[in-house]
Amino acid sequence: MQSYRDLEIYQLAHTLALGIHKMSLTLPQFEMYEEGSQIRRSSIAVVANIVEGFGRKRYQADYLKFLVYAHASCDETQEHLKQLFECGSLGDKEQYLHFKENYEELSKKINKFLQAFK
């Protein structure tokens, strides 16, 4: 593996973060700087932690630490998504289900990657 770009978890996290960013810009104005900002930051944190961990892969403890951070940010993103949907700010059920299912899949993939790396 030459680059973090080769990682399936990176590719999925990156694609989802782009989608979350675009979705968040359609939220009601009052959510743009509250939950909208939070979900943008947590979705980007998943990607950023995967990338930073890969950069430290020669230090196993550091790599694992950043993968754990990525997993935690993935969980955080799922919670923000749920809040937005349940509060009615994200009214598109299909869009919600798309992100929900894909973030659940990403969480499983990060967990499997963590287990394999240990």
Confidence of residue 91 (pLDDT cuts 50, 70, 90): very high
Confidence of residue 67 (pLDDT cuts 50, 70, 90): very high
pLDDT tens sequence across 16-50: 999 999 999 999 999 988 999 999 999 999 999 99
Note the Cα 40 to chain centre separation in Å: 9
3-state SS assignment for residue 4: helix
What is the pLDDT, as a whole number, of residue 117?
Answer: 78
What does the chain come to in residues?
118
Read off the pTM.
0.95
Q: Which domains does the chain have, with CATH numbers?
A: 4-117 (1.20.1440.60)
pLDDT beyond 80 at 118:
no
Contacts of 49 (CB under 8 A, 6+ apart): 66, 67, 69, 70, 73
| Count of other CB atoms within 10 angstroms of residue 34 | 14
Contact by Cβ (8 Å): 56, 66 = yes
